[in-house]
Amino acid sequence: MLANLLRSSERILLFTGAGASTESGIPDYRSPGGVWSRYRNVKYREFLEDPELRALFWARGRELYPPIYAAKPNAAHQLPVWLHERGRLLGVVTQNVDGLHQAAGLPVELLVELHGNAHQVRCLGCGWGCTRQEVQKRLEAGELNPDCPSCGGILKPATVAFGQPLPPEEIERAREMAAACDLCLVIGSSLTVYPAAYVPHWARSAGAKLAILNLEPTRLDDLCEVIVHAPAAETCERMIHIMESDTA
């Protein structure tokens, strides 16, 4: 049924969450024993004001980043590229910061990263930037609070921290895509993190059909035309195969 819905839609919006990247080797950090359970959350204001909590933020990041850096795109990232190449993708709105949609070949103008991108670091003072991997090397060499080599200011990954507002321009782009799509397909999101999870609400309110591919039920299941409880990459690979067979 999901393949039929994809076949019949012309302006498809994909909304992706952590479950889209699990099969790329990025673990569920929020599970018991995961990194998120072993470090306290550092809020944005705390990151700015308290060097000790900033060091705690970077200590957690030193563990979080290597699997993200090593990850490769899977079929959940290849599906939107496949749809784009056939003129049927409106765009992708993602909660993920792993950069795997770009790595799969999705044009940046079709992508909204609501929570930022983990592969870039910026100085909050002068705006100097570098790759996250460069900072990772400094952390692994023993630095606790890497600072800006240009001005000595505070470095921060280009991701949205706890208590930090989402970029309003990205929210607006997501809202515009939701209003223009004829199908919103949610892949790998529990739809519990707001304001990101408003995106499928906006699409549904604008008259789009809604489909959800997620391992567990979500609070929007009763609004869906199609619900699939299965691994994201495995299912997306099957969808591509089915649709390619149609044109063979």
- Farthest CA pair distance, the chain: 60
Residue 175 has pLDDT above 90, yes or no: yes
Averaged pLDDT for residues 194-214: 96
Q: Domains plus CATH for the chain? A: 1-25+73-115+166-248 (3.40.50.1220), 27-70+116-159 (3.30.1600.10)
Confidence band, pLDDT 50/70/90 cuts, at residue 36: low
Candidates 84, 101, 115, 119; catalytic one: 115
**pLDDT the model gives residue 248:** 53
Give the whole-angstrom CA distance, residue 232 versus residue 154: 37
Averaged pLDDT for residues 155-181: 96
Residue 155 has pLDDT above 90, yes or no: yes
Averaged pLDDT for residues 56-61: 94
3-state secondary structure the chain: CHHHHHHCCCCEEEEECHHHCHHHCCCCCCCCCCHHHHCCCCEHHHHHHCHHHHHHHHHHHHHHHHHHHHCCCCHHHHHHHHHHHCCCEEEEEECCCCCHHHHCCCCHHHEEECCEEEEEEEECCCCCEEEHHHHHHHHHCCCCCCECCCCCCEEEEEECCECCCCCHHHHHHHHHHHHHCCEEEEECCCCCCCCCCHHHHHHHHCCCEEEEECCCCCCCHHHCCEEECCCHHHHHHHHHHHHHHHHC
Give the whole-angstrom CA distance, residue 165 versus residue 227: 31
Residue 37 has pLDDT above 80, yes or no: no
Residue 237 has pLDDT above 70, yes or no: yes
Buried b (16+ CB within 10 A) or exposed e, 203-223: bbeeebbbbbbbeeebebeee
Averaged pLDDT for residues 6-29: 92
Residue 196 and residue 30 in contact, taking contact as beta carbons nearer than 8 Å: no
Residue 64 has pLDDT above 80, yes or no: yes
**pLDDT the model gives residue 198:** 96
Of 33-42, 93-102, 141-150, 229-238, give the lowest mean pLDDT range: 33-42
Confidence band, pLDDT 50/70/90 cuts, at residue 197: very high
Averaged pLDDT for residues 142-150: 96
Residue 99 and residue 73 in contact, taking contact as beta carbons nearer than 8 Å: no
> Among this protein's residues, is 115 annotated catalytic?
yes
Retrieve residue 26's tokens.
């990025």
- What pTM did the predictor assign? 0.94
Of 1-15, 38-52, 68-82, 196-210, give the lowest mean pLDDT range: 38-52
Residue 33 has pLDDT above 60, yes or no: no
